[in-house]
């Protein structure tokens, strides 16, 4: 059977959910991965406001859409990050930011992630996707961090996330962690180390996103085969490498969309991710979860890019031969 093709609503969080649901229905999506920002899925209202979840479900059904995952990337980022600063204030609701005391922010973010699991379970959704944050600096740092300090970063991650994952276990929801620079894991080896840090507990799996692997020159197909049993959700997201002798792979502190960057996000099908091999590998490991398009391209209109990406995924999502 074809896998459901969904749309991550994070890139559309500036418009009301009903407006987006109408668009997604007209375009032909099977469902939405609802982001916990904008008005798309508000965790506090889901748990405290009578009728909120029923109204959200009715809205999706009105437009013949389902929900297979809840996206909690922004709050999840703040569970482990160190430092906590104005960047985090910009992405958090005031009730989580509070007075901005860093440890207070982390603790409130942790409680919100627990509540996100409870809200997802009450909504009938079995996967929450997101980031974890990390106190280990990403990529290259100087002075060099000692192995002991790096290990302390993994211990901090485990100490903060295991109580959250306990609640996920209690309510029967799994966490799909998105491997990404600035997180506790950003490539092949750090992913393995992060899984070890939480003792490979089954609740903690992956939201597979090849765009973040490709620009680092990590083969996303090898990643699929290695972590085949931990892929709980997938983002169809694209990146491109633009190395020309001047552009650096670290991004050069330039904003997305700048031609001087050594890599950038582009609409699915317009970059370098080996999608044919990726989809064949997903078939090999029998992944049957959603194919959630996360459109991200400063160089084209988002509606046009999303519609184009939907057609692109439909062409790739082929059943295995039955003979």
Encode pLDDT of 109-162 as tens digits: 999 999 999 999 999 999 999 999 999 987 777 888 999 999 999 999 999 999
Closest CA to 79 of 184, 230, 202: 184
- What gap in Å lies between CA 35 and CA 164, rounded to an integer? 19
Mean pLDDT across 165-188? 97
Q: Please provide the average confidence, as pLDDT, over all residues in the chain.
A: 96
214-250 exposure pattern, b = at least 16 Cβ within 10 A, e = fewer: bbbebbbbebbeebeebbbbbbbbbbbbbeeeebeee
- Scan for tokens 């211990």, then name that residue: 155
Is pLDDT above 70 for 32?
Answer: yes
Per-residue pLDDT at 151: 97
Per-residue pLDDT at 138: 78
Chain mean position to CA 284: 23
pLDDT tens per residue across span 172-183: 999 999 999 999
- Residues found in the chain: 323
Per-residue pLDDT at 72: 98
Sign of CA dihedral 264, 265, 266, 269: positive
Sign of CA dihedral 265, 266, 272, 273: positive
Per-residue pLDDT at 139: 74
Per-residue pLDDT at 1: 59
Q: What is the CA radius of gyration of the chain?
A: 19
- Scan for tokens 């999706």, then name that residue: 60
Per-residue pLDDT at 247: 96
CATH number among 3.40.720.10, 3.10.20.30, 1.10.10.10, 3.20.20.150, domain 5-237? 3.20.20.150
Is pLDDT above 70 for 283?
Answer: yes
Q: Using alpha carbons only, what angle is made at residue 179 by residues 114 and 315, rounded to the nearest 5 degrees?
A: 110
Per-residue pLDDT at 142: 85
**pTM for the whole structure:** 0.97
Q: At 262, list the tokens.
A: 């050594």
> Where do the structural domains in the chain lie, given as residue ranges?
5-237, 238-323
Mean pLDDT across 265-271? 96
pLDDT tens per residue across span 37-82: 999 999 999 999 999 999 999 999 999 999 999 999 999 999 999 9
């Amino acid at each position: 059977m074809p896998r459901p093709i969904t749309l991550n609503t994070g890139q559309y969080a500036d418009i009301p959910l009903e407006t987006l649901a109408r668009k997604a229905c007209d375009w032909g999506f099977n469902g939405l991965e609802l982001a916990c920002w904008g008005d798309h899925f508000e965790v506090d209202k889901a748990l405290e406001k009578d009728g909120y979840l029923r109204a959200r479900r009715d809205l999706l059904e009105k437009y013949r859409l389902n929900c297979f995952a809840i996206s909690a990337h922004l709050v999840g980022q703040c569970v482990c990050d160190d430092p906590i600063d104005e960047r985090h204030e910009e992405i958090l609701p005031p009730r989580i930011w509070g007075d901005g005391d860093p440890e207070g922010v982390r603790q409130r973010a942790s409680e919100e992630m627990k509540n996100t699991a409870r809200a997802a379970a009450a909504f009938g959704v079995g996967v929450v996707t997101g980031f974890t944050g990390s106190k280990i600096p990403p990529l290259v740092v100087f002075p060099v961090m000692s192995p002991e300090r790096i290990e302390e970063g993994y211990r901090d991650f485990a100490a903060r996330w295991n109580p959250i994952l306990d609640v996920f276990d209690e309510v029967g929801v799994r966490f799909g962690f998105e491997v990404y620079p600035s997180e506790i894991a950003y490539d092949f080896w750090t992913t393995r180390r992060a899984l070890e840090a939480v003792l490979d507990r089954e609740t903690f799996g992956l939201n597979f996103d090849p765009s973040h692997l490709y620009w680092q020159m990590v083969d996303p197909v090898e990643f699929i085969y290695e972590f085949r049993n931990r892929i709980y959700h997938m983002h169809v997201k694209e990146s491109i490498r633009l190395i020309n002798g001047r552009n650096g792979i670290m991004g050069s502190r330039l904003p997305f969309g700048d031609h001087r960057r050594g890599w950038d996000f582009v609409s699915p099908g317009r970059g370098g991710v080996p999608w044919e091999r990726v989809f064949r590998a997903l078939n090999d490991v029998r992944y049957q979860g959603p194919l959630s398009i996360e459109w991200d391209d400063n160089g084209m209109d988002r509606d046009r890019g999303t519609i184009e990406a939907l057609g692109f995924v439909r062409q790739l999502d082929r059943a295995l031969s039955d003979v």
